[in-house]
Amino acid sequence: MRRLAPSLCLLTALLGPAPLPCLAQEAGVAQGPDAAKALPVSAIEFAGNHTTRPRVMLRELPFALGEPADAAAVERGRQAILDLGLFKAVQAESRVVDGGLVVTYTVVEKFYILPLPRVDANTDGQYAYGMQLRWSNLWGLNHTLRVTGLQREAQRQGVGKENQYSFSYGAPFVAESRWSLGLSASYTDRPVEASGGSYNEEFQALQFIGIRALSDGPPSQGWSLGTGLLWQRQDTSGLVAPYGEATAPLLSLGYRDLRFRVYSEEGLVFGSRLEVARSGLASDYDYTRLSAGATRYWAVGDKPYQTFHLLGEFGLRWQGPAGTTSYGLGGSSALRGYDKDFIEGDAYYRLATEFVHPVGWRWLRAVLITEVGALSEEPGQLLGSRVYSSIGLGLRLRLPTLVDFEIEAGVAMPLTGGAVRVFGGKV
């Protein structure tokens, strides 16, 4: 039994918070004798943050040095730090020293650097292999870096294996302002077989965006407004003439009121985006694309981490290069009961419900999914289009030692009848 204890600590380190002494508790506030009374905060201390800089957590707190705080405010601060998604556990302690309140937050950090050989696969027959660097909480400032090089089999008729390279960098709340900046770039090339022969196709994209937090309180919550520029270019060699490039100013509007519970979430997330390109203005063609989506999470019942989710999303594109489409339905993330991209077009919507129930362990949950959606060739035809629906049952596994890592696998089928289909992939 004495030899088993280190293994138990290692196992719980991989799967999430464990009872002391292995790890700090997932939640909790240790209160001093005057915890119910609001006292001026004389000191804010952090422990366990070997990577994360204090200012990343300080800006999320509902109080500052010298301002009054009580036990409820200290707990809101603990939850706000946990909501960053950077920690497996956060504890709070408050004590009275010389008439002032000393607040201490103790965190258990996740693994932030993942240089990995990457192998992706799903039940649609798509697979990819290559290398990826995922670096979360870069510099201890909650910056994110993603660098990926993959060869991908997309299972599209007439399209060979793709070589994909991508880079993205995100810097939230630069210089302690309410502005966040993002930069991303991608390059893809692939062989294409057409009726008259074969040719090679290349895609390039570059995007820059700045996002301003609009709401009072923690900057990572509330409303945000973004603006930026997206440049895209498609080129070909051989039979088919390229449709060229487009430069689109973009706007985004988002809202986040999310409570992170390590193994589940509660709250609301909304995002929307508008892109507009005009021929002759650094563009070879016109297009307008509007998309939006929202997810609401509720805790249900008395069982911890049992939740119900309501999801909705839509996308519309007007004009654009001839012979191209923007959206598809079906596959392991949208209408799971249907084959991937069984229908394609320039307008779609999808609604879904999810009931998620822990199965034995907090990190493993069963999920019941119902989905409905429609797609049309043009936005004006969407409301009159055929509606498709499916139901699915599966398992979701979340490793809280990694930032934003959850996978699922299960079976689904169309509600209108049809074969049972296996689905799986990253949530």
Determine what percent of the chain falls in helix, strand and coil, rounding each to the nearest 5. 10, 55, 35
pLDDT at 3 over 50: no
**92-96, 111-115, 127-131, 261-265: which range is least confident on average?**
127-131
Please give the average per-residue pLDDT across 128-140, as a whole number. Answer: 90
Q: pLDDT of 333-389, one tens digit each?
A: 889 999 888 899 999 999 999 999 999 999 999 999 999 999 999 999 999 899 999
pLDDT tens-digit series, residues 234-250: 988 867 778 899 999 99
Tell me the C-alpha distance between 225 and 163, whole Å. Answer: 34
What is the model's pLDDT at position 153?
77
CA dist 1 and 90 (Å) reads 29
19 band by pLDDT with thresholds 50, 70 and 90: very low
For residue 176 the two structure tokens come to 């302690």
**Residue 54's pLDDT is what?**
97
Give pLDDT, residue 425: 82
- CATH number belonging to domain 113-426: 2.40.160.50
* pLDDT of 75 higher than 70: yes
Rounded to whole angstroms, the Cα distance separating 83 from 213 reads: 16
Structure confidence at residue 122 (pLDDT): 55
Both structure tokens of 128 = 């990819």
Query: Around 245, how many Cα atoms within 13 Å sit in the side-chain half-sphere?
Result: 11
Q: Quote the pLDDT of residue 17.
A: 43
CATH of the domain spanning 34-109, picked from 3.10.20.310, 2.40.128.720, 3.50.50.60, 3.40.50.300: 3.10.20.310
Give the residue extent of every domain in the chain.
34-109, 113-426
In 47-193, where does DSSP find H-type helix? Answer: 54-58, 71-82
Pick from 183, 191, 190, 224: which is nearest to 207 by CA?
183
Residue 114 has pLDDT above 70, yes or no: yes
The per-residue b/e assignment along 162-171, b for 16 or more CB within 10 angstroms, e otherwise, is bebebbebbb
- Residue 306's nearest CA partner among 263, 269, 353 is 263
pLDDT computed for residue 125 by the predictor: 64
Q: Which residue has the higher pLDDT, 211 or 243?
A: 211
Cα atoms in the 13 Å half-sphere on the side-chain side of 307: 21
**pLDDT of 2:** 30
